[in-house]
Chain A
Amino acid sequence: MKGYWSIVWKRFTQNRLAVVGLCIVIFLFIIALCAPLIANNKPYILIYNDTVYFPIFFEYKEFSGTDFKKIEGYKIFPPIPYSYSEYDLTAIVLPPSAKHVLGTDEQGRDLAARMIYGTRVSIFVGFVAVFIYVTIGIIIGSMAGYYGGWVDIIISRIIEIVMCFPTFFLILTILALWGQSLLNVMIVIGITGWTGIARIVRGEFFKLREQDFVLASKALGARDYWIIFKHILPNAMAPVMVSATFGIASTILIESSLSFLGFGVQPPTPSWGDILSQSRDFIDFAWWLTLIPGLAIFITITSYNLVGEGLQDALDPKQYR
């Protein structure tokens, strides 16, 4: 298997745009992971009364509730010395400046800090929701493809029903009635999005189940779940991975659309779509509030789509492009 994946990797790296996309995706991951180290109103190091403190990494009782910016002493702050929820009503809707690199919003919160924490929301929702629906899709699709017959007929009907759903509207309805939370957004996207994966897996299983290696392991007395998960599924994973990568892009788009309509995360958690939605009231003069979150969503979606494309070509070079 190692040989196969190294060939795929080599083909992938030949596509320059896909590599750029992958670099941006990794960069966003690092930002999301290190968000508290990049944007925080606590300093990394504080030397106060000859004692060294690390306020980001440890909680100190003596500083609870105090503003670190007002403490005298030697301090090293993160590049963006604001937290995402820290408001300052004397500095509302300020354009980008040395103090606030991306400007501030209508409550005087630092936009850069909110954008950085928003990365977390988009990546988290993207991956969890896609993980949910890939899992559902694989289980349902492999059952339909492996057993065929009436199992397949029933599952195919269910797939057809879910595909005809006005999905976005259903998501809005469920969020309105069941409560708006990040968890619900992920679950609803997860349970409505699996049909594409299920169809792909079903198709691959139909192709593979007649192969000799399946017959061989049946003859050796292997159980169904063993054949499905150990023998057939690994051979069907390539198109699933491609579809999942595109799926992350579209999930991030759905999440930001939901947040834009006011159905996403709850404040003060920052989400790019929500920041963009808030900007509508200041659209005439606060260009940074409209431009920056939109650009972030656009770049993120483009990167995932580029990676998906690159993966598709690398895994299946025969197809026409």
Chain B
Amino acid sequence: MKYYILKRILIIIPTFIGITFITYLMIRLAPGDFTSLRAGVEGELKAGSLSKEIFEQEKKLYGLDKPVIVGYAEWFYKTVKLDFGTSRKDGRKVIAHIADALPITLSLNIFSIIIVYIISIPLGIYSSIKKDTLQDRIISLILFLLYSLPSFWVALLLLKYLSGGDYLNLFPLGGLFSDWFDQLDIFQKAADLLWHLILPVTTLTYGGFAFLSRYTRATMLDVINQQYILTARAKGLSEQKVLFVHAFRNSLIPLLTLMATMLPGLLGGSVIVESIFSIPGMGMLAFESILSRDIPIIMAITSISAFLTLIGIFLADIMYAIADPRIRLEATQ
């Protein structure tokens, strides 16, 4: 088992290098270098009026005067020490920006994943029990339609009809807290946060229901056809016990690993949801840094989200090995 864990950890390193190196390459090889691109973006630093010295200084700052490999190696060396440099926009340390934004996005996404699991797994089990009945069909059709709904549209409609005023004024227009947040006591604070989170979390979750509940349904049906379920039934166990103790526990394993595969998509979803609901998380930071060509932040976000994804996959693998003796056996050999 130790050997297996070590092997999984060793695999993380080349994958991480691969992801960050490709991103670095994409940035370095972009036509024109990004210093001049940036100059074009910001009015006060027009490409023509930019003095050569500033230009050279900026190039040096990003290691652009060195070959790609050396530049990447320097970036990597600094990153390992958690030094992501300073933001080009406001001169703040990148790590400070990340420290502000990451907890917001992480908690938003973890909250959403939990809700997706809480709603989809019972739905999936229910439709596997009611396989091919009218209920099963209706559930799967509704989930299917939800899955095809573009999230940015839903977000706009929710904002239009449920907040703001013209129709219903149930929810705030965006942000995480009300202006009067500081004056609230702890319970009111929690309620205020929840009140702000309902719409963004709804937007982040509804698309995941279809995927996860169909997956649950499929694995449940897969397990139910196994012989040990037949044995359990033959023993005279109650249907509930067969389903939840014998069948569901075994279909839980693939559901756990699925959590890891959901991770890379979350940042992308956050970009849209956070920019519509003006939530100052990683998605918003990512979007702003791209708009202002803030390369240190772009690199930092790429590496952090890649790292988190890899950790997620690593944890899923370990959980899988712990839950499934067959894999554990294979791993120790």
Rounded to whole angstroms, the CA-CA distance of A267 and B23 in the bound complex is 28
Q: Is residue B19 within 8 Å, beta carbon to beta carbon, of the partner chain?
A: yes
Q: Is residue A208 within 8 Å, beta carbon to beta carbon, of the partner chain?
A: no
Interchain CB contact under 8 A, B286 and A172: yes
Rounded to whole angstroms, the CA-CA distance of A111 and B232 in the bound complex is 62
Partner of A297, one of B153, B159, B269, B287: B153
Interchain CB contact under 8 A, A173 and B27: yes
A177: chain B residues within 8 A (beta carbon)? 26-27, 30, 34, 37, 293
A279: chain B residues within 8 A (beta carbon)? 156
Q: Chain B residue with minimal CB distance to A306? A: B144
Contact A294/B286 with A164-B264, A165-B19, A169-B271 known, Cβ cut-off 8 Å: no
Interchain CB contact under 8 A, B222 and A320: yes
Q: Is residue A234 within 8 Å, beta carbon to beta carbon, of the partner chain?
A: no
Interchain CB contact under 8 A, A178 and B156: no
Would you list which residues of chain A between 259 and 301 have a CB under 8 Å from chain B? 260-261, 273, 276, 279-280, 283-284, 287, 290, 294, 297-298, 301
Q: Chain B residue with minimal CB distance to A174? A: B26
Instruction: Give per-residue flags for B121-157: 1 if the beta carbon is below 8 A from chain A beta carbons, else 0.
Output: 0000000000010000000010011011110110011
Distance in Å: Cβ of A199 to nearest Cβ of chain B:
12
Determine the main DSSP class of B at the interface with A.
helix
Partner of A170, one of B26, B265, B275: B26
Rounded to whole angstroms, the CA-CA distance of A169 and B164 in the bound complex is 30
Q: Is residue B48 within 8 Å, beta carbon to beta carbon, of the partner chain?
A: no
Q: Is residue B268 within 8 Å, beta carbon to beta carbon, of the partner chain?
A: yes
Interchain CB contact under 8 A, B26 and A283: no
Q: Chain B residue with minimal CB distance to A175? A: B290
Contact A284/B271 with A167-B264, A257-B150, A302-B145 known, Cβ cut-off 8 Å: no
Most chain B CB within a 10 A radius of its CB, from A17, A261, A301: A261
Interchain CB contact under 8 A, B153 and A157: no
Q: Is residue B291 within 8 Å, beta carbon to beta carbon, of the partner chain?
A: yes
Interchain CB contact under 8 A, B160 and A164: no
Partner of A178, one of B14, B31, B132, B268: B31
Place the interface of chain A in its size category: 35 or more
Instruction: Give per-residue flags for B13-31: 1 if the beta carbon is below 8 A from chain A beta carbons, else 0.
Output: 0110011001100110011
**Number of chain B residues whose Cβ lies closer than 8 Å to a Cβ of chain A:** 52
Interchain CB contact under 8 A, B264 and A163: yes
B22: chain A residues within 8 A (beta carbon)? 161, 165
Rounded to whole angstroms, the CA-CA distance of A280 and B272 in the bound complex is 14
Rounded to whole angstroms, the CA-CA distance of A173 and B289 in the bound complex is 9
Q: Is residue A253 within 8 Å, beta carbon to beta carbon, of the partner chain?
A: yes
Contact A170/B221 with A283-B159, A294-B157 known, Cβ cut-off 8 Å: no
Contact A172/B287 with A166-B305, A283-B160 known, Cβ cut-off 8 Å: yes
Q: Chain B residue with minimal CB distance to A279? A: B156
Contact A169/B156 with A164-B264, A298-B149 known, Cβ cut-off 8 Å: no
Distance in Å: Cβ of A25 to nearest Cβ of chain B:
13
Rounded to whole angstroms, the CA-CA distance of A302 and B310 in the bound complex is 32
B267: chain A residues within 8 A (beta carbon)? 166, 168-169
Rounded to whole angstroms, the CA-CA distance of A283 and B165 in the bound complex is 12
Q: Is residue B229 within 8 Å, beta carbon to beta carbon, of the partner chain?
A: no
Interchain CB contact under 8 A, A284 and B166: yes
Partner of B14, one of A157, A284, A294: A157
Interchain CB contact under 8 A, A164 and B26: no
Q: Chain B residue with minimal CB distance to A17? A: B141
Contact A165/B148 with A173-B23, A276-B156 known, Cβ cut-off 8 Å: no
A306: chain B residues within 8 A (beta carbon)? 144
Interchain CB contact under 8 A, A167 and B268: yes
Rounded to whole angstroms, the CA-CA distance of A309 and B272 in the bound complex is 27
Rounded to whole angstroms, the CA-CA distance of A177 and B293 in the bound complex is 8
Interchain CB contact under 8 A, A169 and B301: yes
Q: Is residue B218 within 8 Å, beta carbon to beta carbon, of the partner chain?
A: yes
Rounded to whole angstroms, the CA-CA distance of A173 and B302 in the bound complex is 10
Rounded to whole angstroms, the CA-CA distance of A30 and B148 in the bound complex is 22
Q: Is residue A40 within 8 Å, beta carbon to beta carbon, of the partner chain?
A: no
Q: Is residue A249 within 8 Å, beta carbon to beta carbon, of the partner chain?
A: yes
Rounded to whole angstroms, the CA-CA distance of A167 and B157 in the bound complex is 26
Q: Is residue A305 within 8 Å, beta carbon to beta carbon, of the partner chain?
A: yes
Most chain A CB within a 10 A radius of its CB, from B156, B157, B218, B306: B156
Interchain CB contact under 8 A, B272 and A261: yes
B305: chain A residues within 8 A (beta carbon)? 166, 169
Rounded to whole angstroms, the CA-CA distance of A178 and B37 in the bound complex is 10
Rounded to whole angstroms, the CA-CA distance of A279 and B160 in the bound complex is 11
Rounded to whole angstroms, the CA-CA distance of A287 and B161 in the bound complex is 11
Would you list which residues of chain B between 155 and 186 have a CB under 8 Å from chain A? 156-157, 159-160, 164, 166
Partner of A305, one of B147, B150, B156, B164: B147
Q: Chain B residue with minimal CB distance to A290? A: B156
Interchain CB contact under 8 A, B271 and A173: no
Q: Is residue B279 within 8 Å, beta carbon to beta carbon, of the partner chain?
A: no
Partner of B313, one of A164, A256, A284, A290: A164
Interchain CB contact under 8 A, A302 and B148: yes
Q: A-B pairs with the 4 shortest C-beta distances? A: A168-B268, A294-B153, A177-B30, A161-B18
Name 17 A/B residue pairs within 8 A (Cβ), A-sorted.
A17-B141, A163-B264, A164-B309, A165-B22, A166-B301, A166-B302, A166-B309, A169-B302, A172-B286, A172-B287, A177-B26, A257-B152, A261-B275, A294-B153, A297-B153, A305-B144, A321-B132
**Other contacts beyond A168-B265, A257-B152, A287-B160: 14, CB < 8 A:** A164-B306, A165-B22, A177-B27, A177-B30, A177-B34, A177-B293, A257-B150, A257-B272, A261-B272, A290-B160, A298-B150, A298-B153, A301-B148, A305-B147
What is the interface of chain A, defined by CB distance below 8 A to chain B? 17, 157-158, 160-161, 163-170, 172-174, 176-179, 249, 253, 256-257, 260-261, 273, 276, 279-280, 283-284, 287, 290, 294, 297-298, 301-302, 305-306, 309, 320-321
